[in-house]
Amino acid sequence: MTTAQERSYQALTIDTVRSVVEQLQYFEDVKQLEVSEIGDGNLNYVFHLQDPKTSKSLIVKQALPYAKVVGESWPLTLDRAKIEYLSLQKAAEVVPELVPVVYDHDQDLAYTVMEDLSSHVILRSGWIAGNKYPELGKHIGTYTAQTLFHTSDFYLHPFTKKALVKDFLNPELCKITEDLVFTDPFFDHDTNEISDEIRPFVVKLWQDEELKREAAKLKLQFLTEAEALLHGDLHSGSIFVTKDSTKVIDPEFAFVGPIGFDLGSFLANLLLNYLSQEAHLQKSEDLQAFRKYLLDISQQTWETFATQFLELCKTKGHFTFSSIEGVAESFLEKVWRDTLGFAGCEVVRRTIGLAQVADLNSIEDAPVQIDLKQKALTAGATLIKNRGKVKDIHAFLAWVEESLT
């Protein structure tokens, strides 16, 4: 059934996008704006608008009624633009410095006008180039702790929490995650992208019944555990960075789900870059130094998250049992296990599923790429199956150094 929103929807163009920012009176003369379509993502149009005289600029992001990566054969709801807008607004309530400023949103045309982050770079690109961002771990740890705590039952009144769940129902995009992260990579599905060289290795993965059982448990958690409002797609392509600034973007997959999913997504993309640097950094000393940096970021992210989350439970928690020693700590032990399991699923998905990562796919030496993808798949499967055995962040770091170096 076609909705009223879809009937009134029109895709913006380089010529028409000027009109949507005119009412903001942000620019002196919208007719003089330099406009370019810069989106390279899977689902949306992204326009960059700049005044050549003042250099003032804005971004207009518009959702398409289908998945851009596939085409019109994969229809998608336009409601995801509203979900993204509302999620950015919720994050801005607690970490305004870690998300882009939003200037306008139109539900019918499914667009959002926001701050231009051209002064930043996409984290994935920066990492592939071997650039370090020393504040990143503290920033992502803070982002996850603050956004997840303040939308959880530890903080919200039960009525408010249940209303939040309703407001962020996002079934179509959740279904994408349910399929592409938790199902398709573990079976011979046509959405997977697998070369002939790696297929024999992947077939063995599909034959691992223990792995499938554990992946099923994680998928059920994703389906059933409404712990907090997630970003829903917190990977290195959804983060813009400079040396001292971090901006989390693109929360269109936001919904109320298991807290460990956001943390696991970030950790997985860090691991994939860790592996890929064997091909990107030629000097041994550069490789060792950068991999140490990535491990430091892993530790800083988790420790910042855990420390802030526990402190928030003590100082702002409204959950009746928050003051009882061990309650919040026990919950974080669960989040840690979940983080590792979800990270494993994301590693497998980004290696052989739809929407893979440039960290590995940009490696031109085919045998090296295949070898690193096999290591990634092994690492992902290990995290899924052994998430309860890696007890803390220090054990995780030791495992990475022993297994992936």
Q: Which helix (H) or strand (E) holds 143?
A: helix 136-149
Count of domains observed in the chain: 2
pTM of the model: 0.95
Q: Are 178 and 53 in the same domain? A: no
Q: Are 11 and 64 in the same domain? A: yes
Q: Are 22 and 156 in the same domain? A: no
The CATH number for 56's domain is 3.30.200.20
Check residue 158 and give its pLDDT. Answer: 97
Q: What is the pLDDT of residues 165-222, one digit of tens each?
A: 999 999 999 999 999 999 999 999 999 999 999 999 999 999 999 999 999 999 999 9
Of 43-47, 239-243, 375-379, least confident by mean pLDDT is: 43-47
Last residue of a domain, one of 64, 87, 115: 115
Rounded distance between C-alpha atoms, residue 243 and residue 250, angstroms: 21
Q: Given a cut of 80, is residue 114 above it in pLDDT?
A: yes
Of 146-150, 199-203, 247-251, 318-322, least confident by mean pLDDT is: 318-322
Q: Are 152 and 106 in the same domain? A: no
Q: Are 98 and 232 in the same domain? A: no
Question: Which residues span the domain enclosing 24?
Answer: 4-115
The number of residues making up the chain comes to 405
Q: Are 299 and 383 in the same domain? A: yes
Q: How confident is the model at residue 1 (pLDDT cuts 50, 70, 90)?
A: very low
The CATH number for 224's domain is 3.90.1200.10
Q: Are 232 and 290 in the same domain? A: yes
Q: Are 110 and 171 in the same domain? A: no
Q: Are 11 and 67 in the same domain? A: yes
The string of DSSP letters for 313-335 reads HHHH--STTTTSTTHHHHHHHHH
Last residue of a domain, one of 99, 115, 131: 115
Last residue of a domain, one of 92, 115, 138: 115
Q: With contact defined as beta carbons under 8 Å apart, do 249 and 238 qualify?
A: yes
Q: What is the pLDDT of residues 39-56, one digit of tens each?
A: 766 678 999 999 999 999
In one-letter notation, the amino acid at residue 296 is D
Q: What is the pLDDT of residues 126-144, one digit of tens each?
A: 999 999 999 999 999 999 9
Check residue 75 and give its pLDDT. Answer: 83
Q: Are 74 and 205 in the same domain? A: no
Q: How confident is the model at residue 261 (pLDDT cuts 50, 70, 90)?
A: very high
Q: Are 8 and 85 in the same domain? A: yes
> Residue 348, SS3?
helix
CA 80, 35, 133: angle at the middle one, nearest 5? 65
Q: Are 105 and 129 in the same domain? A: no
Q: How confident is the model at residue 74 (pLDDT cuts 50, 70, 90)?
A: confident
